[in-house]
Structure 1
């Protein structure tokens, strides 16, 4: 039996495709439907390690959780991880096949198209329903040739499409009608209805516009979804639009206030979802420092992961971060490096093969006595172990190309089940690890915050919070979307017939 398939496409990036697919996966799973998420092609620097040892976009891992499934590489067969403005590492069915520029990738699409359809067919054989997320907008006419991300995929598997638009951006009717106008006749016929996202206000004031839209296009509005204030879902790629929850550089912290945590935003920052538990933590003042901003005083600075470690290291130096970090350490502040940030803490980073840019060697900050060599084969693992801090249990995942060696590693940061990971400085001020997801473990976060200066940390259960937010989203979609119409499209019997 082949799964029934529905595709969600958007009029723009960040229109709400990921969130709607997440909600539909949770709602269908609640009905007892065997449902799987799918995104043919994703471009993102936030990724996750799958049960079959590969790498997919973070959004598809969230959607898998919403469906009650472990993430699998077939759910996102093509992942593009930008490492320059014109090029990206190309990951096919979970494994990196190399770096391609935009023109080279365009020529390569006929090969990845086969991988996309193979992955889809495997899922279709295992599940009753598949909810597919498009990428960007189907109206990018310059990308139509060889398209595998939007209508090209929908045409290949012959599935209906729901088109979602963000009313909070403004111009929602122009977005919807204009997108339809740029589609071919067969593509327009695939659009079975519209969803308007992030609406706030009196729905009665919108009704005349909805009536006009349905008359003009002949297609129904399947739902108007409300703006959900404070909704937290792990981001596909985009960083928060503002620097943080706010403190100013002139403030002086007293011991009863929240712990101040600062993370620099580099041009190729990756897996910034690592910091979601800290951003939501009631005892933490968290601040992303964007390019051009002055770094404020902090108790803890964390150097994040990077898709281009040497380039991001040069960026930090060019923007005064080395002097800032030296001052921070001199006054007793704590410093953690995660993945690429960990590599920066060492003496040297070697990339003789040019895996992340121009081949060469960069001097690290030199605060940990170790050297990193970038290698073609990625390390992809889900792991568990214990921190050296308070012997706290921790779980996480590794996604990196570097092999790090040196005397600093005799003082590890994490003792994993099969080996040690990371390093600690002799004075205990600096720590580094390859572990992403470090702060999703409450006990580990408590131990790190205590080390950084918080007297009595009480870290909320982040996993439970994440689940509650998916349920909150699903409940809102159920209340405002024509779910019977969606279920009919997927061949799901009405509730009365299921009783």
Structure 2
């Protein structure tokens, strides 16, 4: 493996498992260093997530690296995440290279991709090295997954190429942290072990005295110190590739159902609804009576056809039709827009073939190779609204009963059914307030970007107190 030309040695955060907290730690480090005046940038060679963001120049990147760039107080760039995998079937992912769909690589067996993808990783990291004083690199999953080592372009291959100072993180809230750390270290090659500068315990709750001499025991076994014990930190920042499940219908609340079908995407755009506390957002994964809810949202989807098939299989399609007849608000975003329409045409078999929609709004959608990826700013109801597009579909009105919604040719409304290709609407106080007004709720919308920025500073403060920088 070629070694990169190094301007300043990068710091790399690896995890013993997925969801060990790597993304959040990198985010914290980026904001802490930025607050200290360091010209810092994040990097993750390859991300797998259907939560994506769009840069100012219309390129696609992982939501986590986008947030990390904001934490670093710099402009997000696709260079920070040169490879993005977006799952759209059980054994298929759309491959995004340097912000653009690569159909050739998407259809190639994954073990054969490395030789073609790796040069993009090297170029992106080398370019960032010339632009920033410090790079903070995030790994993926675990570097000890032996079955995946030969195709690795995101963990130890990157660490070795740039000779990064590596810190290995374990989620102590799950239990078994010291075994995870020791076992992961033992699975690495000698030259890889030499790069590990410290172990990190993450998501700790309780009295640190309960750890006893475990850290000394681990250092005796490995020669590597445990450099930080980070507390469990509750935050209101976007998740990398998941959504907070568990909310249920609550008596006396404004209850909004979020249809959580397979391949749902960009769910972080509903954080403003989740955290502002004026409504109770309930993810719906199984067939149930929707009539008790005040509104229903159908989110984006990486595969609208398969998401629609899920609704039909579970019977949720019939519940949605019944709900729409109650004159309560139905909102469809991107893939949700397509599902609510009359049909989805897929002549190129980009997703799941032609499908009949729910017929709740007179629209037809055709999936095309060209993918719309752009940021948008416009005036709506007397305020500026910022959003972004990220979709293959092109939708068209089929009847005069359909009106434009927010922006012509991007969103439509028919009766109580509202749709838009715009993501990020709830980040805008003007849209949040419009939505709450329809439900008879409090119009308490805030500037969500400012709120996220404050959360980043809180995260940095936590890391400054308990971290190792």
TM-score over 0.5 (shorter chain): yes
C-alpha deviations, 1:233-276, integer Å up to 9, x for none?
21110222x332x325xx5xxxxx44221111111101011111
1:394-473 to structure 2, matched below 5 A, reads 394-407=385-398, 411-415=403-407, 420-425=409-414, 427=415, 429-451=416-438, 453-473=439-459
Q: Is the 8 A contact 1:194 1:220 kept in 2?
A: yes
Aligned to 1:74: 79
Aligned to 1:269: 264
| SS of residue paired to 2:456 | helix
Q: Is the 8 A contact 2:166 2:196 kept in 1?
A: yes
Aligned to 1:349: 344
Q: Is the 8 A contact 1:7 1:161 kept in 2?
A: yes
Per-residue deviation, 1:411: 1.5
**How many angstroms apart in 1 are the aligned matches of 2:193 and 2:161?**
15
> Which residue, out of 222, 235, 242, partners 1:238?
242
Aligned to 2:193: 188
Please give the TM-score of this superposition, normalised by the length of structure 2.
0.95
Q: Is the 8 A contact 1:408 1:424 kept in 2?
A: no
C-alpha deviations, 1:14-54, integer Å up to 9, x for none?
00100110000001111111100000000001000012221
1:284-299 to structure 2, matched below 5 A, reads 284-291=279-286, 295=290, 297-299=292-294
1:341 to 1:391, Cα distance in 2 relative to 1, 3 A:
farther
Q: Is the 8 A contact 1:279 1:286 kept in 2?
A: yes
1:84-95 to structure 2, matched below 5 A, reads 84-95=89-100
**How many angstroms apart in 2 are the aligned matches of 1:5 and 1:408?**
57
> Which residue, out of 12, 22, 26, partners 1:17?
22
1:55 to 1:67, Cα distance in 2 relative to 1, 3 A:
same
Q: Is the 8 A contact 2:296 2:330 kept in 1?
A: yes
| SS of residue paired to 1:353 | coil
1:15-414 to structure 2, matched below 5 A, reads 15-98=20-103, 104-228=109-233, 230-240=234-244, 242-244=245-247, 246-247=248-249, 251=251, 257-291=252-286, 295=290, 297-357=292-352, 360-387=353-380, 390=381, 392-407=383-398, 411-414=403-406
Unmatched runs of 5 consecutive residues or more in structure 2: 1-5
**How many angstroms apart in 2 are the aligned matches of 1:27 and 1:392?**
33
**How many angstroms apart in 2 are the aligned matches of 1:102 and 1:373?**
21
**How many angstroms apart in 2 are the aligned matches of 1:391 and 1:366?**
32
1:109 to 1:125, Cα distance in 2 relative to 1, 3 A:
same
How many residue pairs are counted as aligned between the two chains? 463
Per-residue deviation, 1:160: 1.8
C-alpha deviations, 1:331-376, integer Å up to 9, x for none?
221101000000112111011111124xx31111112222111011
| SS of residue paired to 2:109 | helix
Q: Is the 8 A contact 2:265 2:299 kept in 1?
A: yes
CA RMSD of aligned residues (A): 1.8
**How many angstroms apart in 2 are the aligned matches of 1:293 and 1:180?**
47
Q: Is the 8 A contact 1:378 1:400 kept in 2?
A: yes
1:293 to 1:120, Cα distance in 2 relative to 1, 3 A:
farther
Q: Is the 8 A contact 2:9 2:162 kept in 1?
A: no
Aligned to 1:495: none
**How many angstroms apart in 2 are the aligned matches of 1:3 and 1:330?**
61
**How many angstroms apart in 2 are the aligned matches of 1:322 and 1:84?**
21
Please give the TM-score of this superposition, normalised by the length of structure 1.
0.89
**How many angstroms apart in 1 are the aligned matches of 2:291 and 2:187?**
47
Aligned to 1:477: 463
Q: Is the 8 A contact 1:110 1:146 kept in 2?
A: no
Per-residue deviation, 1:207: 3.5
1:370 to 1:420, Cα distance in 2 relative to 1, 3 A:
closer
**How many angstroms apart in 2 are the aligned matches of 1:154 and 1:272?**
31
**How many angstroms apart in 2 are the aligned matches of 1:321 and 1:195?**
44
Q: Is the 8 A contact 1:55 1:73 kept in 2?
A: yes
**How many angstroms apart in 1 are the aligned matches of 2:12 and 2:186?**
19
Q: Is the 8 A contact 1:414 1:420 kept in 2?
A: no
**How many angstroms apart in 2 are the aligned matches of 1:102 and 1:348?**
26
1:102 to 1:15, Cα distance in 2 relative to 1, 3 A:
farther
**How many angstroms apart in 2 are the aligned matches of 1:371 and 1:54?**
26
